[in-house]
Amino acid sequence: MTETNALPVTTADLYDERGDELQSVSLQFQDLGGRAAFSGPVRTVRCREDNGLVKSVLNSPGRGAVLVVDGGGLLTTALMGDLIAAAAVANGWSGVVINGAVRDRQALAALPLGVKALGSNPRKSAKAGAGEVDAVLEIAGVAFRPGAMLYADPDGILIEY
């Protein structure tokens, strides 16, 4: 892995080399950030239509980690926009994977941050901070455990336990 947390090889090559050591996420996320390939240890947030915890976590030191957010696959409100994503960059996060929506797509595409999400919605979410941080998440049959390694590129997402 380089200093920018880009993959040294593609996820397809990594899977060819390591096979069943890795879990492949079948859910089709869109690539929305300025960095198409990214990797890092997993941190997690579970929330529904409330991005208070997402904002809080991404405003803390990322140390090259990837935040995985389980928004339940809902596209009714955005769980991250340009201001929170800019904070993620400033705090050293490698990327964000959101099982839900984001907003400010053009601004996200200009940031040096990996962003994968199901889609976008300009509607902002609640800010109460409801949800859970660093819980084990299951998305598309794959467990996202805090500390596991995540590798992502335009082909998809791989998880190494």
Share of the chain above pLDDT 70, in %: 96
Cα 88–Cα 109–Cα 29 angle in degrees, nearest 5: 85
Q: What is the pLDDT of residues 65-108, one digit of tens each?
A: 999 999 999 999 999 999 999 999 999 999 999 999 999 999 99
Binding-site residues for Mg(2+), please? 104
pTM of the model: 0.95
E-only strand ranges, 15-155: 22-25, 30-31, 38-46, 66-70, 95-102, 114-120, 132-133, 137-139, 142-144, 149-153
Binding site feature residues for substrate:
81-84, 103
- Over 50: is that where the pLDDT of 16 sits? yes
Annotated binding site: 81-84, 103-104
pLDDT band at 61 (very low <50, low <70, confident <90, very high): very high
Give the domains, in start order, of the chain with CATH numbers. Answer: 21-160 (3.50.30.40)
